[in-house]
Amino acid sequence: MSVTLTTERLTLRLPMASDLPACTAFWSSDRSHMMGGPWDADKTAFEFADVLTQWQKHGFSLFAVTLKGSDAPIGLIGPFFPDDYFEPELGWSLWDATLEGQGLAYEGATAARDWFFANTSYTTAVSYTHPDNTRSHRLCEKLGAVLDPDARSPYPPPEVIYRHHAAQDAAMTDATTRAASVLKDHRASIDRLDAILVYTLAERFKHTQAVGELKAQHDLPPSDPAREARQIERLERLAQDANLDPEFAKKFLTFIISEVIRHHEHLQK
């Protein structure tokens, strides 16, 4: 595929293998430290190759950015969606410090964002930013993004996460309407997680059913109080680590265990 965007001062094109040396020079420098760097050459080559793969897989990813009249890359800007992300991120990096402060990142990010929303079914994207990266915070806000503290992130905290909306959403002016848009995203995630929960429980009961049949064959008691107590204690620890109410987790597992015992008792009748 071939996609090229132009702005007043920039050209955004698909990355090429010849862009890798300039990319490597940036990601090996201290300037990349608020973006997850520095990286060694192998790590940079792997991440760069993944950008190319995303273009083939999704039809979008980071654009290589050049100044008009030159094909030398000065950064990467655009929406990208690695396999370990929950949703696309609008990201940017300018590799030459002398080009900062001229509005080039805003110019490129605006073009890439508008192209992304116009050419995909997505209506939102996030930007994951380092708490100290005030330049990125200002750029997100200039782009019209709003803070979304509830957005999921593949990175460990602390982080400041902004959410970008498609043009029709960006035009919203009242907080209630904006909240409705965010609510829709959360509900979609809840529906997906509910499906995961149901399939996980089904898989668990397949195993407990097999245990019940084995117990019935060998005339073993349907309940094992010592193991059940250890299960509850373990789940309470896991709940604390996951920031889930341990009392709720205990009640949930107690209910599941009671259902399992009931099934085991039925098998032995």
Position 168 scores a pLDDT of 53
CA atoms of 181 and 2, how far apart (whole Å) = 32
CA atoms of 249 and 3, how far apart (whole Å) = 50
Place of tokens 């010592």: 226
Most confident option among 114-118, 174-178, 229-233: 114-118
Question: In Å, how far from its chain's centre is CA 259?
Answer: 36
Length of the chain: 269
Q: In Å, how far are 47, 137, 166, 220 from 149, measured between CA atoms?
A: 27, 14, 19, 50
pTM over 0.85: no
CA atoms of 140 and 132, how far apart (whole Å) = 14
Other beta carbons less than 10 A from residue 207's beta carbon: 10
pLDDT in tens, 53-87: 999 999 999 999 999 999 999 999 999 999 999 99
- Please report the domains of the chain, with CATH numbers, ordered by start residue: 5-171 (3.40.630.30), 178-268 (1.20.59.10)
pLDDT in tens, 215-266: 888 888 988 999 989 998 998 999 888 889 999 989 999 999 999 889 888 8
